A = this chain, B = another copy of it.
Amino acid sequence: MDRMEEACGVFGMFAPGQNLAQLTIFGLYALQHRGQESAGIAVSDGENVYVEKGMGLVSEVFPDLEKLGIGAGLAAIGHVRYPTSGLGRVENAQPLLVSYRYGSMAVAHNGNLVNAEELRLRLEKEGSIFQTTTDSELVTHLIARFGYKNLESSLKGVLPYLHGAYAFVFLTEKSLVGVRDPLGIRPLSVGQLNGSYILASESCAFDTIGAEMIRDVNPGEMVVINEEGLQSVQLLPSSRTALCIFEFIYFARPDSNINGRNIHLVRKELGRNLARENPAEADIVTGVPDSSLSAAAGFAEEAGLPYEMGLIKNRYIGRTFIQPRQEIRNLGVQLKLNPVQKVVDGKRVVVVDDSIVRGTTSRKLVSTFFRAGAIEVHLRISSPPVLSPCYYGIDTPTYEELIGSKRDIEEIRKEIGATSLGYLSKEGMLSAACLPEESLCMACFTGEYPV
């Protein structure tokens, strides 16, 4: 995969008497783009907490909504996980459910603790055993060892030990708790439906179940939701925010809102700014489906060029499709993306994509357009060059593999074979997001890590 890839999506809901298993699954359907490796839910009926999870898409793990082992309850959490290589074991599927001194606790996590290894070694020295390689298990160990009867009190003690990016949702027999790291690197929002509170990585999950978004969970904030309502505690001081900029560029669904701004509209603005900064003498503009279509439409509008479907994505080539052998591929089989010859033939084409990671996909993309008859291919990227890997839960290649880390733009253009290549500037990106630099994590573009 030659993409920055999201690590996970989390969901939580406190709504006594509702069919929480089904509602949580619907929330996960809305968050499925954030992770397709495994899916799971945990539901509390007020007395016990139950978990159901497995490998695959939400629709594969929960094929029959009427046959769930668990149904109505008090509260529930859910999780979808992205397939990071090597760790795709069912044991790592979340939520993780443990029992400890004070009962049951389920937890789901989006993010990455940078000091996980260190914490794990310390716990192992003290005699802990580990059944998974997840940060979630680490956190449950710490909570259990802190030993307060009250999960909230334990979290107060545990959080200072966690360094990195995290958005956790916890479920106990009686309550739902959400926590976000003090820089707010990974997103987490609060929504409401008929008086019930909901937590989700993205606001599209609220829409899906008919709920409304209330606000983002603040960096360093813990929200505790139980029979008495929602209580907010600022667990850790937070001097700044450092939300992952890639949520705007690529991760989030176009219908989600972050910081009050709609993702589709931000991406369209990214495209407009890109057209202003890097115009092209061209005949048509086209985007790479699905993530770059908004930016391409923005580019086209700003440039006054026709916006066309130059590339069609086959919706039926699934996650588990195994590429045919070389002998078949040599025939020119292109199953997933098909260039539209009649659209691009004889044309000077602006192709808008969201980012270049290794560059291999971009090279194929450019040659695909040339083979389809394009006379010029102007590649425009709606973000700056990716210079540095991410340590906060996003699957990125090493410095060596990042095409942007050691080459200037002309060198990249040559490697990729485009007629021209233009990246959006940092400023153009920030102005589209309407956010000051100090409120975002842009480490992959700048090498300056907020933690």
Q: Which residues of chain A have a CB within 8 Å of any CB of chain B?
A: 18-19, 22-23, 26, 29-30, 32-33, 57-59, 64-66, 91, 96-101, 124-125, 127-131, 137, 140-141, 144-147, 193-194, 204, 207-211, 253-255, 257, 261-262, 264-265, 268, 290, 293-294, 297, 301, 306-309, 312, 314-318, 320-322, 324, 327-328, 331-335, 338-343
Q: Is the CB of B130 within 8 A of A101?
A: no
Q: B residues within 8 A CB of A308? A: 264, 268, 297
Question: A209: which of B140, B210, B331 is its contact (CB, 8 Å)?
Answer: B331
Q: Tell me, in angstroms, the Cα distance from A343 to B124 when the chains sit together.
A: 51
Q: B residues within 8 A CB of A315? A: 32-33, 290, 315
A207 with B26: in contact, given A98-B129, A297-B307 (CB under 8 Å)?
A: no
Question: A130: which of B98, B145, B293 is its contact (CB, 8 Å)?
Answer: B98
- 7 residue pairs, one from A and one from B, having the closest CB atoms: A210-B332, A262-B342, A127-B145, A98-B129, A255-B312, A101-B124, A255-B340
| A289: nearest chain-B partner, CB-CB | B290
Q: B residues within 8 A CB of A306? A: 301
Q: Is the CB of B101 within 8 A of A125?
A: yes
List 9 interface pairs A-B (beta carbons < 8 Å), by A numbering: A19-B327, A19-B328, A26-B335, A59-B320, A97-B131, A124-B144, A127-B145, A208-B335, A255-B309
How many protomers of this protein does the assembly include? 4
Q: A32-B316, A210-B332 given. 11 additional CB < 8 A pairs? A: A22-B328, A23-B331, A29-B316, A33-B315, A33-B316, A64-B322, A65-B324, A99-B131, A129-B144, A255-B339, A264-B309
Nearest CB of chain B from residue A405's CB, rounded to whole Å: 32
The DSSP consensus for interface residues of chain A is mixed
A264 with B307: in contact, given A58-B316, A59-B316, A209-B332 (CB under 8 Å)?
A: no
Question: A324: which of B22, B125, B257 is its contact (CB, 8 Å)?
Answer: B22
A96 with B312: in contact, given A322-B64, A332-B209 (CB under 8 Å)?
A: no
Most B-side CB within 10 Å, residue of A255, A261, A324: A255
Nearest CB of chain B from residue A134's CB, rounded to whole Å: 11
Q: B residues within 8 A CB of A129? A: 98-100, 137, 140-141, 144
Nearest CB of chain B from residue A119's CB, rounded to whole Å: 14
